[in-house]
Every structure is written in structure tokens, then in C-alpha cells.
Amino acid sequence: MLSIDFGTSDTVAAHTDPVRGTVETFVESDAVRPVSVVYGRAVAEHGGRRPRTVVLTHPDTWTAQQIRSLIDSAVRAGVDSRSLVTVSKGWAAVDFFTRSERLQRGSVVAVLDLGYETADAAVFTVGGGGAMRLAAVGSDRALGGRNLDAVVRRMVERALVVRDPDAAAQLRVAPVHVHRDLDAQVRRAKERLSREDTATVTVRLEECSHTLTLGRDEFDAAIAPVIDRAVTGLRAALADAGLPSGTVPDVLYLTGGSARIPSVRSTLGGLCPVRAAGETSTVVAEGALVAVENRRRSSRARTLGWLRPVGIAVAAVLVAAGIAVAVSRGLTHEPVVVHVSGSAVVAQPFGGAVGAPQTAGFASIPADREHSAVPVHQIEDSTGTDQNRDDHE
């Protein structure tokens, strides 16, 4: 199985290893043909074998038409349409983080995906039996990793003005390749400041170059307004969910590259409990695999639940018919009682001790632990994503 989490900066793939039985991930930065490149690479890593299921992720706010466009692009990239399913990013994140835990009734769960172009929030409520409902979604297209890059760029420009005003003036009229080089360094500096206390950026001009050092404290202070905007957006999504004023999530799941930044986690952690994976950019891709597997297990459990009473009824008829044949042929002269329970059919002589069966059919079939029916689009369904999950464990 292969899942592809398409992003505006990077595309992340997660695929199952048929030998080790593990999930492996990789990141592809081809922005022109992301699905084609990722699909081809995954097929090559599996010795030319095509995946039986390809899962595409999309923002929770997408319409059916946008999802259809995503599917069509995958088909044009060479993916077999019969193998395609789609999962929204919010559902994928929830399934990733709840693989080994049970959500309590009445819980409020939120997902904040801090991508490169946008920040997307999704709010879920947990009902009876653990049934989950997508209560609200929100998206801020002016908030994302690109905005943080712009903050770091301004930090560099201010430092350059202090260091060499003439160089700062040259930078404003510098060729495009100079700005592209600087932007690439700015992005790397942002990522480094997510892990370390300092990062350096070198401004390379035709007549001179300057290496500037940026500090974590300065970075945190500069991005504070951006983080505050993310908090505001999350509160707006909670209000849209119809929850009482002042409600905060019982847990907030963070995904996306910017979720690595310590000040992002600490600021949001002051609002509610926060959970984030070590590698935040692969959460959605891995969670999509979990989501589809959960859906399959839930479907099998429902099928078994439907087959069990039918099978027991058929067994009862067959046992009764066998007894009737035996009586007609004189093979038995004792009255026989057929006991039908929720898990078995037992035939025993009249008056015999219950629990001492003479003939038994259809022993109890243990059902798989029920999992959610995740809103996963089959390729032939283009009506939009189901917003409810009614049988989450």
C-alpha cells in the first residue's frame, strides 16, 4: 500500500515494506510532477510491483470537485484508477495518533496542520461508543511556513542594514539568482533554528558577501505574531464547531513542517495538551495508511457481524433437518432439543444437561476489534467526503 501526501513545497510518501512488514517514508521535492515522481520511485523500490492501493491525502476543506481533480491528476500520472482512495489530512492525523489509545466520550480533538502555504485546523468531537464527528474545519491561506520564511528574511535584511548599509542597498536591486540563493538559505536557517540555538545566512553580492548569525531568541520573538494568529484560527474553528465559549481541545495534534519549531509547540501547549510526532511532516502520509487499514478492519467486522446470525440460523436449520432424517430412519428415538444462542447451535437429547452438547455447529467466531469507517473516497465516489465516523473504537 502506498500513500501520497501532496504538499506545495514537498510531497511525502509512506509505503509498506513487504519483506520487513514496516512502513517506510520518503520526501520528494519535485513540484512539477510530484505524484508521478513519487509513484515511480515507490514502484522502483518494490522491484517494479505496483501497489494494490494508492491513498491520496487532501485538506479537510476541499470540495468534491477539488478531490476529483486530485484523482484525475493521479490517473494521468499513471496510477490505476481502481487502486485509488482518498483521505483528508485531519482524519489521517487522528488515526495516526490514536493507533494505540481510546478516545473518551465527550472529548474534543483538534488537528492543526502547519503547512508551507496554509495552516489548516480541524475539530472533532467524540460521541457514544467513541464515534467521531468532524465538527468544523478552517484554513488560513496567509499563514504557513512561507510566512515564517518571510519573517527570517526580514531578520536578515535588518541585520545587513546594521552591518553594511551599502550592501543592503545593493541587495534591493540584486539579480534574481541572488535572491533565490538567499531565500534558500533563509529556509534552511528557519529549519535549523527549529533544532539549534543559532543559524547563519550568507548574503552573496557581486562586490561583497556577509555572513550573518541569527539567534533562537530573536527568531522566537519575530515569529510570535504568526503563532498568535494560528491560535486565533484554532479558537475560531472551535467556535465554528458550536462548542461552548472557552472550550479548549482535550488534545491538539500538530502536523506539518512548522510544527517542529519549539516555540510553536510551547505556545500552543499553553492552550491545551499538544502531541506531535518526531517527524511531523510524515504524520499525514503514515496516518493515511492507518486510516485505510482501519476502514478495512471495520468493514470486515461489520461483515462478520452480519454473517454470524445468518450462519447460526442456517446451522440450526441443518441440524434440525439432520435430526429429522435420523428419526425417520430410526437412527434415534430420543426427543432432541436444538439450542440456538448468539454464538453457536447445540443439539442435545431432551432432558440432557445444558452444556453437554452432543452435536455442535458454528463455534463462536471472534470479531476483529472494530475500527472507524474513515471518510475514504473510493475512485467511483465523487460526491464529497463523508464528515462523520460513526463506529470509531
Query: What is residue 338's three-state secondary structure?
Result: strand
- pLDDT for 5 beyond 90: no
pLDDT mean over 314-322 = 65
Most confident of 127-131, 256-260, 300-304: 256-260
| Backbone phi and psi for residue 217, each to the nearest 5 degrees, phi listed first | -65, -45
State residue 274's pLDDT score: 94
Higher-scoring residue by pLDDT: 11, 223 = 223
> Which long-range contacts does 192-198 make (Cβ < 8 Å, 24+ apart)?
193/152, 193/219, 193/261, 194/260, 194/261, 194/262, 195/260
Average pLDDT, the chain: 77
Confidence of residue 307 (pLDDT cuts 50, 70, 90): low
Higher-scoring residue by pLDDT: 85, 35 = 85
Confidence of residue 21 (pLDDT cuts 50, 70, 90): low
State residue 135's pLDDT score: 93
The predicted-structure confidence for 111-149, as pLDDT tens digits, reads as follows: 999 888 889 999 999 988 777 889 999 998 888 889 999
Confidence of residue 322 (pLDDT cuts 50, 70, 90): low
- pLDDT for 329 beyond 60: no
The predicted-structure confidence for 48-84, as pLDDT tens digits, reads as follows: 888 888 888 888 888 899 889 888 888 888 888 888 8
State residue 107's pLDDT score: 92
Within 13 A of 25's CA, how many CA atoms are on the CB side?
17
- pLDDT for 178 beyond 90: yes
- pLDDT for 281 beyond 90: no
State residue 22's pLDDT score: 67
Structural domains of the chain, ranges and CATH numbers in brackets: 2-88+284-295+372-389 (3.30.420), 308-361 (no CATH)
Of the listed ranges 33-37, 122-126, 170-174, the least confidently predicted one is 33-37
The predicted-structure confidence for 83-115, as pLDDT tens digits, reads as follows: 889 999 999 999 989 887 778 889 999 999 988
| DSSP assignment string, 206-239 | SS-EEEEEEEHHHHHHHHHHHHHHHHHHHHHHHH
Return the percentage of the chain with pLDDT > 70, whole number. Answer: 70
Higher-scoring residue by pLDDT: 178, 354 = 178
- pLDDT for 164 beyond 90: yes
Residues whose CB falls within 8 Å of the CB of residue 16, separated by 6 or more in sequence, listed in order: 1, 2, 22, 23, 24, 289
